[in-house]
Amino acid sequence: MIKYIGSKRTLIPIIVETIRRATDARSVIDLFSGTSRVGHALKAAGYRVLANDHNAYAATLARCYVQADAGDVQADATRLVREFNALPGSPGYFTETFCEKSRFFQPKNGARIDAIRQAIAAKALPPELEAVLLVALMEAADRVDSTTGLQMAYLKSWAARSYNDLELRMPNVLPRARHGKGQATCMEALEAAQSLEADVAYIDPPYNQHSYLGNYHVWESLVRWDRPEVYGVACKRVDVRQRQSIFNSRPRFAAAMAQLLASVRAPVLVVSFNDEGYLSRAQMEAMLASLWNGTGKVVTLENDFKRYVGAQIGIHNLQGLKVGKVSHLRNTEFVYVVAREDLATRLAPMLPAREPQLALFAGNSETRTGP
Ligand SMILES: C[S@@+](CC[C@H](N)C(=O)[O-])C[C@H]1O[C@@H](n2cnc3c(N)ncnc32)[C@H](O)[C@@H]1O
């Protein structure tokens, strides 16, 4: 899977276990699917997953990991991975933009990315098979990139891994889930909330001002293959300036979140948010408790984690010199669960021993500290 800020890799066992204990659900919506790691784990656990993200690269990851079933694509994709791995490089837009104008990849790998992406386009494959090959290419490129995991900038000197040769590997596409075929959509979250329906909705919105499209613009251009005009040192696609998310806006976040939560068509909502986000724990709990005419019952699971790699490395200037200190190296990831019925008993094994002074929020919430 690709490096992705805000990815819930370490939280996955907690999210899956929370959903399993909270309800006898068969289907789960993932409204902000990102890498689709969560959807992939839920699909593996048997759920029918409906994954949505408004960026094309993320919807492609979801089409591969959530919608495509191994029985339908595995044989063809394995053959094509082998065929594409044998293609010689052929420099084009990608090499020029991301290896010469900027330095995200070594030119030898850029030329092979160009050749493979062109070959995928030329085959005009069925959408699910195409998504699997695009993900194989995205992940192969990610393994030889020269970044810290964000595409706002590339490293001043080549990363050691960038010298390796690009190599496609077959993504871990799962067999169809016990509860039915998954679905990937590429909609605005609010539109997805209004149109998708399931037993549970998992909601993991952005938590700061940095646009995912700006952070992962290279993947967007690789997947869309629309050879956009670019700007700045990082060669971002020009539409990064227009395609903004309301969830990246501090003043607009709370209203957007409230509208989204009220629109979701699922009886149980599971929300991921951390202590660096625009809403405090108290604000989020109050917003969730106000659902369904104020009958929402909230359980909060609290998990302490190491912060993302950028925070571990420190703050550097353009010359690569350390110029600042990061304020803290750990953060708290909250998993909020809200339903009309009180799920505290079902979730009790995930909560620490009762601490009454901490555990009550407006008379209807529980808390857990972990992992
Ligand atoms: C915190 S990340 C989700 C990470 C994901 N759970 C994972 O584990 O990889 C938030 C995601 O929301 C998507 N997003 C941001 N604004 C959106 C919007 N208005 N509608 C739909 N998706 C949006 C971003 O593209 C990003 O992938």
Angle at 48 between CA 45 and CA 54, to 5 degrees: 110
- Strand ranges (DSSP E) for 61-199? 183-185
Which helix (H) or strand (E) is 219 found in, with range?
helix 217-224
> pTM of the full predicted structure?
0.91
Query: What residue type is 12 in one-letter code?
Result: I
Of 283, 107, 256, the closest CA to residue 193 belongs to 256
Ligand 1 midpoint to CA 206 (Å)? 6
Q: Provide, rounded to the nearest whole percent, the portion of the chain with pLDDT above 70.
A: 88
Could you tell me the strand order of the sheet in which 330-339 lies? 183-185, 48-52, 27-30, 200-203, 268-274, 330-339, 297-306, 365-370
Q: Considering only CA atoms, which residue is closest to atom 7 of ligand 1? A: 7
pLDDT at residue 304 in the model: 79
User: What are residue 235's phi and psi, to 5 degrees?
Assistant: 55, 50
Does residue 275 or residue 161 have the better pLDDT? 161
What is the DSSP secondary structure assignment for residue 156, as one 8-state letter? S
Residue 142 CB–ligand 1 contact under 6 Å: no
Residue 7 CB–ligand 1 contact under 6 Å: yes
pLDDT at residue 211 in the model: 96
Of 177, 187, 99, the closest CA to residue 144 belongs to 99
Atom of ligand 1 nearest to the CA of 6: 1
CA dihedral 66, 161, 308, 334 (to 10 degrees): 20
Residue 206 CB–ligand 1 contact under 6 Å: yes
Ligand 1 midpoint to CA 90 (Å)? 33
Query: What residue type is 187 in one-letter code?
Result: M
Residue 364 has pLDDT above 60, yes or no: no
Ligand 1 midpoint to CA 75 (Å)? 31
Q: How much is the average pLDDT of 29-39?
A: 98
| Contact (Cβ atoms closer than 8 angstroms) between residue 149 and residue 9 | no
pLDDT at residue 318 in the model: 52
In angstroms, the Cα distances linking 269 to 16, 230, 264, 286 are 13, 39, 8, 14
Residue 220 CB–ligand 1 contact under 6 Å: no
User: What are 119-149's pLDDT values in tens digits?
Assistant: 999 999 999 999 999 999 999 999 999 999 9
pLDDT at residue 312 in the model: 53
User: What are 52-82's pLDDT values in tens digits?
Assistant: 999 999 999 999 999 999 999 999 999 999 9
Q: For tokens 């490395």, name the residue.
A: 313
| Contact (Cβ atoms closer than 8 angstroms) between residue 174 and residue 180 | no
| Range in 80-94, 177-191, 353-367 the model is least confident about | 353-367
With cut-offs at 50, 70 and 90, classify the pLDDT of residue 320: low
Q: Considering only CA atoms, which residue is closest to atom 5 of ligand 1? A: 34
| Contact (Cβ atoms closer than 8 angstroms) between residue 71 and residue 214 | no
pLDDT at residue 329 in the model: 66
Residue 277 CB–ligand 1 contact under 6 Å: no
If one residue of 4, 7, 16, 53 were mutated to test the ligand 1 pocket, choosing by the most ligand atoms within 8 A of its CB, it would be 53
Domain 1-69+184-205+257-371 CATH superfamily: Vaccinia Virus protein VP39 (3.40.50.150)
| Range in 85-99, 141-155, 326-340, 357-371 the model is least confident about | 357-371
Of 61, 95, 36, the closest CA to residue 227 belongs to 95
Domain ranges of the chain: 1-69+184-205+257-371, 71-173+206-248
Ligand 1 midpoint to CA 231 (Å)? 23
Residue 188 CB–ligand 1 contact under 6 Å: yes
Measured distance CA(53)–CA(41) in Å, rounded:
17
| Contact (Cβ atoms closer than 8 angstroms) between residue 124 and residue 108 | no
Measured distance CA(300)–CA(45) in Å, rounded:
23
